[in-house]
A and B are shown apart, each in its own frame.
Chain A
């Protein structure tokens, strides 16, 4: 019946009641004329309702003439009737069309311009440049050429390394990547001194008088290139620098650590009184606790003395880890390595690396030193 009612909606259907005597005869003559009827129901002994296509109703008229049967349309269903009702009420139709037109028109303009990725450049500045290039809220969408805008923005704002422009509906997104600034030459007067102790391998003087020669050992803070007069000393001094990373590990390690089990207890604190809502004091024997307090927001000067306290318990357990000499040495080496990593600046050239297992008086301890030799720039500016 689904399909039938669907076609009723599409082509329209009339629910008609016929009242009178000898209705069966009327139906026989009707369907013999090729009129299709469905959902025929007897409402009472003298009345039958049925459905037909709207166009068939006119054909029924001559059949009932002179039989005393009265036909009455009870209900009109389906699209054709909705359509005719709509076309009678033109206001709605015009409204719908107008609404669509307004949405379409409004969505063909740029409404927002967004900037992202800017750190030093202000949003205002970028928006101003974009506006001067003809991109601002109110501009017709089709007029925005994203690739051209990106190129022009990059040209106009020299501090940008890359500019991307995307058009998202009524929104223009300007994405910016700023250039990394080159460090400015030191202002005013000043010497170049050693930032680290090391063995000088190269000295390149741009301005000033060299104070050290190649092959010389320098201490941290020692002058490398002295300024003559006004301009600051400039140059490069490269040196071999040594670092030592130290790490040690116990062969027998004891302590407490969390087991991973947690539980929480929710409490309300009113003044000094604490009401436990959920949970208990602590379900664990050995634990560490941590509580978070949520107070009601302060209103004017009134702070209600009611707080919601959540106490998180973390179960702890004793542990004892026994390692062999080799394992302890390995662990110590890993620690030494990370200790070293914290000292050595990134990106320097490593010349040599040596791992030394230190002999220890403490039997329970394995200690490892890692010695690293690097070649790096050690000259830093020091103002007078």
Chain B
């Protein structure tokens, strides 16, 4: 815990992006049609209505309609469809 706080402080001092310092996912959403998740650690569930992705902050749940994975790379996932909800859940 102390280490994490130190890490955050160091990051702030050096003006580094948060996702680099915290190893957190970076999520980019375009309107309600596209979501781009970088720095994920695994795909847990995929269906046309729901996508669950594992990250360092826990599960990222995305719900909506007509999802399709446009790109699936080791640390990146690009999803298109109609986004409705996005939430962080417990692991």
> B-contacting residues of A (Cβ < 8 Å)?
1, 23-24, 27-28, 31-32, 34, 36-42, 45, 48, 50
Is B74 interfacial (CB-CB < 8 Å)? yes
Is B68 interfacial (CB-CB < 8 Å)? yes
Q: Which residues of the other chain, B, contact A45 by a CB distance below 8 angstroms?
A: 47
The CA-CA distance from A40 to B74 in the complex, in Å, is 14
Contact of B70 with A38 in the complex, beta carbons under 8 Å: yes
In this complex, the member of A34, A38, A48 whose beta carbon has the largest number of chain B beta carbons within 10 angstroms is: A38
Contact of B42 with A28 in the complex, beta carbons under 8 Å: yes
Contact of A27 with B46 in the complex, beta carbons under 8 Å: yes
A-B contact pairs, 29 of them (CB 8 A): A23-B46, A24-B43, A24-B45, A24-B46, A27-B43, A27-B46, A27-B72, A28-B42, A28-B43, A31-B72, A31-B73, A34-B74, A36-B71, A36-B72, A37-B69, A37-B72, A38-B69, A38-B70, A39-B68, A39-B70, A40-B46, A41-B48, A41-B68, A41-B69, A42-B68, A45-B47, A48-B46, A50-B69, A50-B72
Q: Which residues of the other chain, A, contact B48 by a CB distance below 8 angstroms?
A: 41-42
Is B57 interfacial (CB-CB < 8 Å)? no
> A-contacting residues of B (Cβ < 8 Å)?
42-48, 67-74
Q: Which residues of the other chain, B, contact A38 by a CB distance below 8 angstroms?
A: 69-72
Nearest residue, chain B, Cβ from A1: B70
Nearest residue, chain B, Cβ from A27: B43
Nearest residue, chain A, Cβ from B52: A24
Q: Which residues of the other chain, B, contact A48 by a CB distance below 8 angstroms?
A: 46
Contact of B46 with A42 in the complex, beta carbons under 8 Å: yes
Nearest residue, chain A, Cβ from B66: A41
Contact of A32 with B74 in the complex, beta carbons under 8 Å: yes
Contact of B68 with A40 in the complex, beta carbons under 8 Å: yes
A35 to B: closest C-beta gap in Å: 9
B56 to A: closest C-beta gap in Å: 16
The CA-CA distance from A41 to B80 in the complex, in Å, is 10
Q: Which residues of the other chain, B, contact A31 by a CB distance below 8 angstroms?
A: 72-74
Nearest residue, chain A, Cβ from B54: A28
* Majority-rule SS of A interface residues: mixed
A36 to B: closest C-beta gap in Å: 6
The CA-CA distance from A40 to B42 in the complex, in Å, is 15
The CA-CA distance from A50 to B71 in the complex, in Å, is 10
Q: Which residues of the other chain, B, contact A39 by a CB distance below 8 angstroms?
A: 68-70
The CA-CA distance from A36 to B73 in the complex, in Å, is 6
Contact of A24 with B72 in the complex, beta carbons under 8 Å: no
Q: Which residues of the other chain, A, contact B43 by a CB distance below 8 angstroms?
A: 24, 27-28
The CA-CA distance from A168 to B68 in the complex, in Å, is 58
The CA-CA distance from A34 to B69 in the complex, in Å, is 16
The CA-CA distance from A27 to B71 in the complex, in Å, is 12
Nearest residue, chain A, Cβ from B78: A38
The CA-CA distance from A149 to B37 in the complex, in Å, is 75
Q: Which residues of the other chain, B, contact A41 by a CB distance below 8 angstroms?
A: 48, 68-69
Q: Which residues of the other chain, B, contact A34 by a CB distance below 8 angstroms?
A: 74
Q: Which residues of the other chain, A, contact B72 by a CB distance below 8 angstroms?
A: 27, 31, 36-38, 40, 50
Given contacts A28-B43, A42-B48, 18 further A-B contacts (CB under 8 A): A1-B70, A23-B46, A24-B43, A24-B44, A24-B46, A31-B74, A34-B74, A36-B72, A36-B73, A38-B69, A38-B72, A39-B68, A40-B68, A40-B70, A41-B69, A42-B68, A48-B46, A50-B69
Q: Which residues of the other chain, A, contact B68 by a CB distance below 8 angstroms?
A: 39-42
Q: Which residues of the other chain, A, contact B69 by a CB distance below 8 angstroms?
A: 37-41, 50
Q: Which residues of the other chain, B, contact A42 by a CB distance below 8 angstroms?
A: 46-48, 67-68
The CA-CA distance from A50 to B46 in the complex, in Å, is 13
Q: Which residues of the other chain, A, contact B46 by a CB distance below 8 angstroms?
A: 23-24, 27, 40, 42, 48
The CA-CA distance from A50 to B43 in the complex, in Å, is 15
The CA-CA distance from A34 to B73 in the complex, in Å, is 7
In this complex, the member of A34, A41, A50 whose beta carbon has the largest number of chain B beta carbons within 10 angstroms is: A41
A79 to B: closest C-beta gap in Å: 22
The CA-CA distance from A36 to B77 in the complex, in Å, is 11
